[in-house]
């Protein structure tokens, strides 16, 4: 796998965080960690000037962020209103922050926002190589056990990527920050952590055989 | 609380689901249940033709979907490129669907997409009433225990809403659907459910007193 280059994201007129700058970061390693820890992102793009946002699953190789969809789907068509960049957000909600005043209630979270013009990948071998990387994220080692992909499936699947460069990170991971005079207010304050776990595997009712159970994603 | 009206969402050129129509629904009750079960949404809007997407927390009263932010934040300014509607997606990822072929891997999820022109709410009493509804979603019964809001805080918080009308639902909640000839392929197939739970409360280190612990949100 190609390794990511450089250590800083590009702070531009688009990617610079405007509000809550004390929560902002342009550290690329932090961004890559958040991207890898999340299974789902939200892709925003315009069509005839109207914004649309689509949730989808993503993966990463090196400096590139990938997603796929039906080859006719809007979000793998590249920019429709030229020369538009898409805007993608990847967020993980980590907890509720309960303060002494309503105003200072907040959430702990990790969030990356990316901008870029999607690049369509049409080379068949490269598409298959990327699908394997995606499957390895979802369930390591599973690809080799599956019925192999065929040409119709490869053609029916649209694949795009953008470089992880023009981007920003925002995160919060701390107790409530109250107004100094409120710290003695008589109410519980702190963080209610949100935890994500994989529940018990639910085997397909149409499957009577017993096969080894899949490995879950390494992080989420 | 005002009750929602009508039972069907408005299927328009914007809100009609284009891909995967068999997963689509325009049932309003289903949409409201998903909106209420989620804490976070993604608001997409344009500025000078460029799409932006912002994660934020939301709440609902009756037929209206609300969010707030710093009063100068982009996502509570209403449409910047007139007469643009924002597009909001609310998604809950419920599990990974592991099929016998890479192509039929999928996810179980619940998703609502809303379109609308944000309506700015400036009436002070109505703003406070809405903040209480939001707090009651985050932690029922907490509002009355907090240091009361003041005028500066009310003014600093921008509040907007859109009507839940021009919208669509997509969801998937079932085992893998494989090509018929693949069902005998020798690999485990089924669903790996993703579960969200509230971890042990983390009291603010600056708080030495013991107060009753907060009630977590009723659904997530």
pLDDT class of B73 with cuts at 50, 70, 90 = confident
Was domain B21-175 assigned CATH 2.30.110.10?
yes
Q: Would you call the peptide bond into B83 cis, given omega within 30 degrees of 0 as the criterion?
A: yes
Q: Do B190 and A207 touch (CB under 8 A)?
A: yes
**CATH top class, domain A21-175+186-192:** mainly beta
Q: What is the ipTM of this complex?
A: 0.93
pLDDT class of B209 with cuts at 50, 70, 90 = very high
Q: Do B153 and A101 touch (CB under 8 A)?
A: yes
What is the greatest pairwise CA distance in chain A?
Answer: 67
Q: What is the percent of chain A where pLDDT is above 90?
A: 81
Task: Give the position of tokens 């509607």.
Answer: B85
Q: Do A214 and B111 touch (CB under 8 A)?
A: no
Residue among A55, A85, A153 minimizing CB distance to B91: A55
Q: Residue A101 has which token pair?
A: 């005043």
Chain B: closest CA distance from residue A3 (Å): 25
A80 touches chain B (CB under 8 A): no
Name the residue ranges covered by the structural domains of chain A: 21-175+186-192
pLDDT (tens digit per residue) in A16-32: 988 888 889 999 999 99
Beta-carbon contacts of A197 under 8 Å, excluding residues fewer than 6 positions away, are B194, B195, B197
C-alpha to C-alpha distance for A56 and A59, rounded to whole angstroms: 10
Q: Which residues of chain A are within 8 Å of residue B157 when distances are taken between CB atoms? A: 103
Q: What is the percent of chain A where pLDDT is above 70?
A: 93
Beta-carbon contacts of A174 under 8 Å, excluding residues fewer than 6 positions away, are A97, A108
CB atoms within 10 A of CB A209: 10
pLDDT class of B3 with cuts at 50, 70, 90 = low
pLDDT (tens digit per residue) in B144-172: 999 999 999 999 999 999 999 999 999 99
**Which of B74, B138, B39, B60 has the alpha carbon at shortest distance from A102?**
B138
β-bridge partners, B60 = B65
B100 touches chain A (CB under 8 A): yes
A142 touches chain B (CB under 8 A): yes
**Which of B101, B109, B93 has the alpha carbon at shortest distance from B176?**
B101
């Amino acid at each position: 796998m190609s390794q990511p280059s450089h250590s800083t994201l590009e702070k531009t007129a688009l990617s610079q965080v405007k509000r809550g700058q004390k929560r902002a970061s342009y550290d690329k390693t932090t961004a890559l960690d958040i991207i890898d820890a999340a299974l789902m992102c939200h892709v925003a793009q315009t069509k005839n000037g109207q914004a649309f946002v689509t949730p989808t699953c993503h993966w990463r190789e090196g400096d590139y962020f990938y997603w796929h969809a039906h080859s006719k789907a809007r979000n793998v068509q590249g920019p429709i209103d030229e020369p538009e960049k898409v805007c993608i957000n990847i967020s993980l909600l980590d907890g509720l922050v309960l303060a002494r005043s309503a105003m200072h209630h907040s959430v702990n979270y990790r969030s990356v926002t990316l901008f870029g013009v999607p690049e369509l990948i049409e080379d068949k071998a490269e598409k298959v190589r990327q699908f394997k990387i995606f499957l390895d994220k979802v369930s390591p080692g599973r690809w080799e056990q599956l019925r192999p992909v065929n040409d119709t499936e490869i053609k029916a699947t649209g694949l795009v990527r953008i470089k992880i460069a023009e981007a920003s990170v925002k995160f919060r991971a701390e107790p409530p920050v109250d107004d100094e005079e409120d710290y003695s207010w008589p109410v519980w304050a702190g963080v209610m952590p949100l935890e994500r776990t994989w529940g018990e595997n639910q085997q397909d009712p149409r499957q009577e055989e017993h096969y080894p159970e899949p490995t879950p994603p390494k992080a989420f």
